[in-house]
Amino acid sequence: MQMIDASTKPPDIRHSSSSDQNVLNDDLPPLDVLREMIKYETFLRLSEPIQNLFDFYRKDDSAITMVLDSVQQHVVERFGYKHVNSLRTAVSRFPDDPVIKEAFYIKHNKITQGLVYQGQVARDVDLFTVDGQPTTLFSQITSGQPLIILADCLFPILHLFSNLFRLHAPVMRLLTIYIAEAHARDQWPAGKTISCVDQPTTLEQRRINARNFREKYHFEMPMLVDSMDNTFHTTYGSWPFRFYVIDEGKLVLKAEPGETTFAYDMDELDYWIENYYQKKGIERRS
């Protein structure tokens, strides 16, 4: 098992803490200070107390966000600054600085909107079965049935989709696509429960993770694996997690995270399913 190195002691902080100042600075910090702030924030994120909080709140996205916000606010105040944006603007202000670019949550961030937006014609992509056989996204579409897709790194809410599969499989197709790990323990750890595997570097490793998950949790929904070129993610913008609906050749639903919580509203999918049943005059199973 490969873990990210984290010193047992925090980096030296040569700037006065907020407790030593009556007024916090409204200005943006210079580059040398930003570098130290990022090192300190990284130390805190990887520290055992914060990792334990990630474990404890692993099912509560809002709580995780609050923990991260508190860490960043502590960091900026520790360096004598008032606003958390003094840290969050580091990448936009110094996009080419090697120290800032190497922060693990910047270096390994794969967030993108992809190439296909809600309302546009869906695109086919190459995928693989958990047994390594090549296949395609469109091969999963059955005529006259919508295709509901969950793209994920196999942990946070898949149990909810198992229930959806049992309820709706006769009427619509449901599919899981295993994509690149969002919180691999060797890249972007978020507690031992979520960050339980390293980032796969081969298709074989990715397939093994998918197969092990399916067997361990008795996961019923059909599962495919994204290519090592991350073709599905590049096309549909799936990392770290997203759900979709393709119907009649179009991407009719592409989930978007909340602006403040960065969490997805699973009721959005339920509303779409309910409207689909009503439109088709089908009695919904409960």
List domains and CATH numbers for the chain: 21-108 (no CATH), 120-280 (3.40.30.10)
Provide the sign of the torsion angle of the four alpha carbons 68, 73, 76, 78, taken in this order.
negative
Q: What letters, b where the CB count within 10 A reaches 16 and e where it falls short, cover 102-119? A: ebeeeebebeeebebeee
Q: What global pTM score does this model have?
A: 0.80
End-to-end CA separation in angstroms for the chain: 43
pLDDT above 60 (res 5): no
The sheet carrying 134-136 orders its strands as 134-136, 126-129, 223-226, 173-178, 147-152, 242-247, 250-254
Could you tell me how many residues make up the chain? 286
Condensed to tens digits (0 to 9), the pLDDT of residues 12-69 reads: 555 544 444 456 788 899 999 999 999 999 999 999 999 999 989 887 878 888 999 9
Q: Which residue(s) pair with 226 in the sheet? A: 127
Condensed to tens digits (0 to 9), the pLDDT of residues 235-265 reads: 999 877 789 999 999 999 998 876 665 667 7
